[in-house]
Amino acid sequence: MLAIKLLVALIPFWLGMHPFYISLTDMVYNETNQTIEIAQKIFWDDLEEALSNKNGDRINFLSPEKPEALDLLIEEYLLTHNAILIQGDTLTLRYLGHEVEADAAWFYMESEKIPSPDQVTIYNNLLIDDFPQQQNIINFYKNRNPKSLITRKDKTSGILKLD
């Protein structure tokens, strides 16, 4: 019975699909720079599909016809689907670029300068419009202490109290 369950679980991998929709976001408050540094790991094929749906044209993430245009689409998408609020004020985020890693890519952003926060409200609805089962794991680190939350279709934001 265990062999059958394992076989069924591995079929999506053999077909070249990943059976789950998840992203990982690490946010670190940098005391020296007084900014929040953000790294998001997203399956590039999922982002490619979301960008294609939004743009109306097929996007080739790994070999774009116009790399600068792709970077602008990525920047707009990430800045639209991520927000950080401190005391009700939305922080300005700046897109820094990305790196491709096998089946996923890392995307980097940074906030404007802010004093050390005691609490943050994080909004993240990456890929949820295109993949209703999408879950986004967010880890926020302040003074090396992690706080985490997960966003999904029915809960696209959360509040983290920081130590």
Per-chain mean pLDDT for the chain: 90
User: Is the pLDDT confidence value at 17 over 90?
Assistant: no
134 in a structural domain: yes
Chain segment 77-88, per-residue pLDDT in tens: 999 999 999 999
66 in a structural domain: yes
User: Is the pLDDT confidence value at 7 over 80?
Assistant: no
- Measured CA to CA, the distance from residue 152 to residue 149 in angstroms comes to 10
pLDDT band at 15 (very low <50, low <70, confident <90, very high): very low
User: Is the pLDDT confidence value at 36 over 70?
Assistant: yes
User: Is the pLDDT confidence value at 139 over 60?
Assistant: yes
Residues 6+ apart with CB under 8 A from 159: 119, 120, 121, 122
Residue 16 has a pLDDT of 53
Contact 153, 41 (CB under 8 A): no
User: Is the pLDDT confidence value at 20 over 90?
Assistant: no
54 in a structural domain: yes
85 in a structural domain: yes
Give the predicted TM-score (pTM) of the model: 0.86
12 in a structural domain: no
For 89, counting Cβ atoms within 10 Å of its Cβ (0-12 exposed, 13-18 middle, 19+ buried), the class is exposed
Contact 126, 134 (CB under 8 A): yes
3 in a structural domain: no
Domain count of the fold of the chain: 1
41 in a structural domain: yes
155 in a structural domain: yes
- DSSP annotation of 130: T
Mean pLDDT, residues 27-50 taken together: 97
Query: Which whole-number Å values give the CA distances from 53 to 50, 82, 103, in the listed order?
Result: 5, 18, 20
Query: Containing domain of residue 29, as a range?
Result: 20-161
- Measured CA to CA, the distance from residue 60 to residue 52 in angstroms comes to 9
- Measured CA to CA, the distance from residue 162 to residue 116 in angstroms comes to 10
User: Is the pLDDT confidence value at 162 over 50?
Assistant: yes
More confident residue, 1 or 161: 161
User: Is the pLDDT confidence value at 136 over 80?
Assistant: yes
Percentage of the residues of the chain whose pLDDT score is greater than 90? 85
Chain segment 115-129, per-residue pLDDT in tens: 999 999 999 999 999
Query: Which whole-number Å values give the CA distances from 39 to 19, 85, 97, 128, 136, in the listed order?
Result: 23, 17, 10, 19, 13
